């Protein structure tokens, strides 16, 4: 029987919280690869290959490597040094695109056209949601895209992470800045998100 990990830090807003989990390889939110919806989007997308993409809270960086291999100009950021080290080790060819940075302070070197969301919003306490949405809107130009996966359920735990959000709450959060272009169920979620994940694309107004 494996010994359960012991964590000291309980505040998910602190890098130390995530450092402990990456250092002990306790990452139940980690899919271990690129979700099918991302691959399908890339196969059918009509955007230019030089899309300027930011991935906040990149974790182990699977999508950062995949999108880079597809020709996208990607920067993946995480404020956890342990997460950044893990992602760089997993994807050495793209290590220079994986940056230790705080999402709320990071300034892109180039104007963005897309932000990819994957288990970032749900990783942070609900009290920060307005700040996250405002920062998304600040970073993206008009018609820029917020694309990715959202942990949506009316019955999920509010004591995460992951912290769930209802669709109504998400609509209220994003509607001042964005319009939803696409919304569909996810068929290949991992256990922690199963039956509660939606693939959505939102466009900045």
For residue 106, give its domain range.
26-204
For residue 20, being part of any structural domain is answered with: no
Q: What percent of the chain shows pLDDT beyond 90?
A: 80
| Tokens 């597809």, located at residue | 70
User: What is each CA distance from 173 to 76, 111, 169, 180, in whole angstroms?
Assistant: 24, 23, 6, 12
pLDDT of residue 46: 64
Could you tell me the CATH number of the domain that includes residue 124?
3.40.50.150
5 pLDDT more than 90: no
* 19: in domain: no
Q: What is the mean pLDDT of the chain?
A: 92
Q: Do 64 and 55 meet the contact criterion of CB atoms below 8 Å apart?
A: yes
Say which residue, 51 or 190, is predicted with more confidence: 190
Give the total number of structural domains in the chain: 1
Q: How far is CA 184 from the centre of its chain?
A: 17
Take residue 63 and report the two structure tokens written for it: 């999508």
Q: Produce one character per residue of 53-72: b if its CB has 16 or more CB atoms within 10 Å, e if not.
A: bbbbbbbbbbbbbbbbeeeb
What CA–CA distance (Å, rounded) separates 15 from 12? 8
Condensed to tens digits (0 to 9), the pLDDT of residues 156-204 reads 556 779 999 999 999 999 999 999 999 999 999 998 899 999 999 999 9
Query: Quick one: pLDDT band at residue 50, thresholds 50, 70, 90?
Result: low
Q: What is the pLDDT of residue 49?
A: 59
User: Over the stretch 107-162, which tens digit does the pLDDT of each residue have?
Assistant: 999 999 999 999 999 999 999 999 999 999 999 999 999 999 999 998 755 677 99
By the 8 A CB rule, do 91 and 38 touch? no
Is residue 118 within 8 Å of residue 149, measured between CB atoms?
yes
- Cis status of the peptide bond prior to 162, with omega within 30 of 0: yes
Would you give the end-to-end CA distance of the chain in angstroms? 52
Length of the chain: 205
């Amino acid at each position: 029987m494996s010994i359960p990990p012991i964590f000291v830090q309980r505040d998910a807003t602190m890098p130390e919280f995530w450092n402990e989990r990456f250092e002990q390889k306790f990452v139940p939110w980690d899919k271990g690869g690129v979700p099918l919806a991302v691959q399908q989007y890339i196969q059918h997308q009509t955007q230019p290959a030089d899309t300027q993409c930011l991935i906040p809270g990149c974790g182990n960086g699977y999508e950062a490597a995949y999108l880079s291999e597809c020709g996208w100009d990607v920067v993946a950021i995480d404020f956890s040094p342990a997460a950044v080290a893990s992602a760089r080790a997993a994807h050495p060819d793209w290590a220079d695109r994986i940056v230790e940075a705080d999402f709320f302070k990071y300034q892109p070197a180039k104007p963005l056209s897309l932000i990819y969301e994957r288990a970032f919003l749900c990783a942070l306490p609900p009290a920060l949601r307005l700040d996250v949405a405002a920062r998304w809107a600040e970073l993206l130009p008009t018609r820029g895209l917020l694309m990715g996966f959202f942990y949506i359920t009316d019955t999920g735990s509010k004591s995460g992470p992951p912290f769930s959000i209802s669709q109504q709450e998400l609509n209220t959060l994003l509607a001042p800045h964005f319009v939803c272009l696409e919304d569909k169920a996810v068929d290949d979620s991992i256990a922690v998100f199963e039956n509660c994940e939606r693939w959505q694309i939102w466009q900045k107004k």
